[in-house]
Structure 1
Amino acid sequence: MKCRQCRRDIPQDDRYEHAGNLYCEDCYIQILSPARFCDPWADYSAKSFEKHGMISPLTEPQKMLLKLIKELGKAEPAELIEHTRGAIDPADGERELAALSRMGKIEIKSVEGKAIIRAL
């Protein structure tokens, strides 16, 4: 069988069902836990952790995205992920951008119905 979302072959014991469709583990997790840019509790937690010195260093994907944002000035999330030339999976990229936003490294605003990201 193939995953409904990514179309990869999935072994019998690694199939997950959701809403009548079969998914691989990665796609199933993305469906159940999508990246959320607007999450006040996560924002509060990130600021509190940083205040107490509990924030870990940036990951390599976060460093790459932050560098791209600074080079481009501003961009849409999909545009940033595209500039990584496949180094960052789109779903992972959204999670990394959400994390950067919570850390106060970037700002995400809606402009004419589009998400625009810029470095702070």
Structure 2
Amino acid sequence: MICERCGCAIEEGENFEWYGKQLCEDCYIGALQPPRPCDPAAVSSAKATRSQLGQRGTDGLTPLQKQIYALIKEKGKITREELARSFELPPWELEKQFAVLRHCELVKGFKEGQTVYLTLMSTEDAAN
């Protein structure tokens, strides 16, 4: 069986049904509890953990998160849609990655006119 969200193989009996779709465990959890970029508790937890581990900038991020950060840094600002196209990510996966970067206080969203952009949190982050 194949997960209808991420496309990975699911072993027999390890699938979860969600609104008629067969999902793997990770996608099922993500569908039930989607990441919330503006979660003060998650930000506090990420900051404390990163501080305890001595992490700054992109330390501790996955390769994909580092690539997303680098593209945002290069562009200065970018829409979610442009970012999703650049990495061929479905919207739910992009939101998951953005939430991690937001919780680490590396990127933020802002509205310009009717368009929402993602940008670096501060110029100090851009130096790392």
Under TM normalisation by the shorter chain, which class is it? Answer: 0.7 to 0.9
In structure 2, the partner of 1:99 is: 100
In structure 2, the partner of 1:117 is: 118
Task: State the Cα RMSD in Å.
Answer: 3.0
CA distance in 2, matches of 1:77, 1:95: 12
In structure 1, the partner of 2:125 is: none
CA distance in 2, matches of 1:62, 1:9: 24
TM (normalized to structure 1)? Answer: 0.73
Consecutive unaligned residues in structure 2, runs of 5 or more = 123-128
CA distance in 2, matches of 1:94, 1:30: 10
Identity across aligned pairs (percent)?
A: 30
Matched residue count: 117
Task: Give the deviation of 1:43 after TM superposition.
Answer: 0.6
Q: Per-residue displacement from partner, 1:73-120 (whole Å, max 9, x unpaired)?
A: 111223212112x3x554333212111111121112344565421013
TM (normalized to structure 2)? Answer: 0.69
Consecutive unaligned residues in structure 1, runs of 5 or more = none
